[in-house]
Structure formats: C-alpha cells, structure tokens
Amino acid sequence: MFVPALSPTTPEGMARPAILLVTYISPLQKWGSAHRSRLLIDALSRHGNVEVLALSFGAPEAEHGRVTEARLGTTRVVDLQIHSKGIARAPRFDVVSHELTREVMKHVDLAAYDLIVSRYIRPAMKLALPAHVPVIVDFDDALYEPPWKALQGLKQWVGAWLRVFNDRVIVRARLKTAPHRGRHYFFCRQAEREVFPALASSVLPNLPPRPARVGPPDFTPPPSPALMFIGLLDYMPNEDAVDWFLGSVWPLVRREVPAARFLLAGSASADRAERWSRVEGVDVLGFVDDLGQTYARATASIVPMRSGAGTNVKALEPLFYGRPVIATSLVISGYRGLVDLNDVVLTADEPAAFAAHCISLLKNPQRAAELARLGHDRVDKTLDFSLFSSIVDKAVSHELAGRAVDPSSRIADRAA
C-alpha cells in the first residue's frame, strides 16, 4: 500500500506534516493546468512532505487499478488508472463513489495524512475522504461557461448541458452539506468566490509560466507582421475563439495588412489543423517545444476567448516573452482586483474593434514593443510565487493549527 514516507523531524522534534495532493490531471503533463499544480506542490512543500495521487479516468477495463510511480523533483507522483463505469465512477458527474474510494484505499492510505489537498473540485467530490483529515480544495473552473454559439450536433449539446447540470446543480447542492462546507476553498478569481459566499475561501490567482531565463525578455519586434494564438486547440472554448477570430476578425486584418500571418501554436486534432490551414495567411504550428522562438515570430499575441472559465494564463504569458496582448474583456476580467491590465492589454469584444487593435500594432511594431515592456514590468512585479505561496501558507497553517505529530506516531508506524 502507498503510505506517506517517514517524515524528517523538525528541530522541535515534531515530524513534518504528510500532505497528499489528489488530482485527475497529473502535474507531469505539459498542459497549462499542470503548471498550477506544480506551483501548488512547491507552496505546500514549505509546510510538509507532499505526495501526489493522480486519478487517470478513462482507462480501459484491463488497466483499471494499475499503479505507476514517477518523480517530480523530490515529490512522489502515483498514477492510478480508473476505468469509468456507471454514474458514480464516471468523471462526468461529481457524486461520491464508494467503489472508487475502496479502489483508492487498496493503494493509498488516505487516513495516514495530516492534510489532503484536492486539485480541482472533482477528487474531493468523488472520494469519501476521512472525516478527521482536513481538506483544502483548489476549486478551478467554478464558473465554466460553454461556448454555446460554437456547439454543433447532438453530442456537443448534450455534453455541454450535462456539464452545466453537474456544475450548477449537483456540485452546488453538495457544497451546502457536510463535510464539504467545512473545507477551505481556493478560487482563481474574486467573481467565483462571490458565488459561494458561505464557503471559507481565498483567491489563489493563476500565475503564467515564467521562461527559464535571467533578466527581461527581448522586446524587439519580428521582421514580418504576425499575430499568434497559443493554447490547447482541442479545448472547445479555444476552438471557438480561433473560429470566431478567423471568421470575423482576420479578414478585416488582412485587408489592411495583406502580409500579416496568423500563427496557431498548440495541439490540435488533424481535422481542425487541416480546416484552419486552408485559411489564407494561417500557419498551424502544432505543439511547440521552444516557446521563446515561437513568440519571437509574433508582433502580438491574441486571446479572443468568448467562453470558458477561471483566469486565462495565456493572456499574460506573452508578456514574459516580450509580446503585447490583444484580448476580449472576458479574458482580463479574471485578473480584476489582482493586477491592473487596462492600460497594458488592448481589449475589444466586437470584430471591428478587435481588428483595429490588431492592425494598429501590426502597422506600428514599436508601439507593440512599448506595450509589451509596460505589461511585463507590471505583471512581473505583481504576480509572482511569493504572492501565490503566501495565500497557500495562510490556508495551510489554519488547517494544520493544533496539529501534534510525534515521530513515533501513526505516520511513522504506517510507513514502517
């Protein structure tokens, strides 16, 4: 059985707390969501020994219950394959599954931890967690809005309505009951927190990934005019954003700047890539390993989101690579109250206004560089790990208050 490793003792003779992070998307993934998980692990490691349980839903029946282990630095990451069967065990609905809990308990002793942190609301809803172990929930996607205008076919409409039913009926009803209402919750933005005023909570902002480099980025514009969008292109809100931009905005841009290119970076299905490649001036790059070289090809980055949830880190990441951002108001609303973006991110919701911002920067790359420099300095000073970790520190310290674990206690006994 997977149990906490024997924790080193502090100078006061007390064992460091054993902390379990439960998630359904492994922090070893390359997706943007894994970046937040890694930040959370780093922040939690300031308080104790952190281990990760990743529940991989959607495994074939023959793989159900298979466990693999890997390392993220010094953190052990245990992956448990879950074959989705029935309403309770399926990931679509956030209802408790005692069957899934029993499967987890075959491999992971949940009761042996001093703190359990649920990355996303789902693990905390699906598992019957021990009543005596405090729980922190990193909610994420609390106010997801499907891309209604982009839905096509019965399957997409049914999928969207089922998610809305789960999020707005099942989850919200269960949050009003014990033990869920007694937990601490992290929300990505203040607007989400305000929807759940009865919950003990705090705003834990999404931080854009920072490049592995010393000093400021290169703000030099590329030799040719280009716009770029980066993201997981199979994610429906991202697909909707790209389709809206190409259908309503891009023709207006090309009319004024015929030499402009539109770079699409990120994983996409073959049919989506082929469809977008047929549009004049569009280069579908697929997944890119070197973000620095890719951003260097763009005059500006666009984030034309019309749906989705939370905060869009893709709105701020370009600033760390020396590129300005043009976005819809939905995108920057996620950072309201955290950092002022009104004068550093160009914002528009209508095609003509969005196109005008694009044309302006493509024709005046020096202004694009100035905006990028201003935005970089603003975000660099405001949204950093010290802010993130201080919010985690407060919640964790509160949940662990009064804890008294002796080195010869149950944790040491179970680890032996």
324 backbone φψ class: left, alpha, beta (φ>0; ψ -120 to 50): beta
For 142-242, strand residue ranges (E) read 184-187, 200-203, 226-230
Contact 79, 90 (CB under 8 A): no
Between CA 106 and CA 109 the distance in angstroms is 8
The amino acid occupying position 294 is T
pLDDT at 410: 39
Q: What are phi and psi of 164, to 5 degrees?
A: -60, -45
The amino acid occupying position 20 is L
Between CA 317 and CA 323 the distance in angstroms is 9
pLDDT at 308: 80
pLDDT at 245: 96
Least Cα distance to 314 among 306, 305, 322 occurs for: 305
Encode the chain (416 residues) as per-residue pLDDT tens digits: 665 654 444 445 467 899 999 999 899 987 778 889 999 999 999 999 999 999 999 889 899 999 999 999 999 999 999 988 777 667 778 999 999 999 999 999 999 999 999 999 999 999 999 999 999 999 987 888 888 888 888 988 998 899 899 999 999 999 999 889 999 999 988 888 999 999 999 999 888 888 887 788 999 999 999 999 998 888 888 999 999 999 999 999 999 999 999 999 988 899 999 999 999 999 999 988 888 999 999 999 999 998 886 667 778 999 999 999 999 998 888 788 888 888 899 999 999 999 999 999 999 999 999 999 999 999 998 888 999 999 999 999 999 986 654 433 333 333 32
Between CA 121 and CA 140 the distance in angstroms is 7
Q: What are phi and psi of 303, to 5 degrees?
A: -135, 80
Q: CATH assignment of 226-382, given 3.30.200.20, 3.40.50.2000, 3.90.1170.40, 3.40.50.261?
A: 3.40.50.2000
Question: CA dihedral defined by 86, 29, 108, 3, rounded to 10 degrees?
Answer: 180
In sequence order, which residues have a C-beta less than 8 Å from that of residue 243 and are 6 or more positions away? 150
Residue limits of CATH 3.40.50.2000 in the chain: 18-207+384-407, 226-382
Strand order in the sheet with 325-327: 282-286, 261-265, 226-230, 300-303, 325-327, 345-347
Between the two ends of the chain, the Cα-to-Cα distance in Å is: 11
Least Cα distance to 263 among 236, 237, 245, 211 occurs for: 245
In sequence order, which residues have a C-beta less than 8 Å from that of residue 268 and are 6 or more positions away? 233, 234, 276, 284, 286
Q: State in words which class domain 18-207+384-407 has.
A: alpha beta
Number of helices followed by number of strands (H, E) in the chain:
16, 14
Number of Cα atoms under 13 Å in the Cβ half of residue 224: 10
CA distance readout (Å), 48 to 2, 43, 109, 118, 398: 17, 10, 17, 16, 14
Question: CA dihedral defined by 377, 382, 387, 391, rounded to 10 degrees?
Answer: -150
Number of Cα atoms under 13 Å in the Cβ half of residue 122: 19
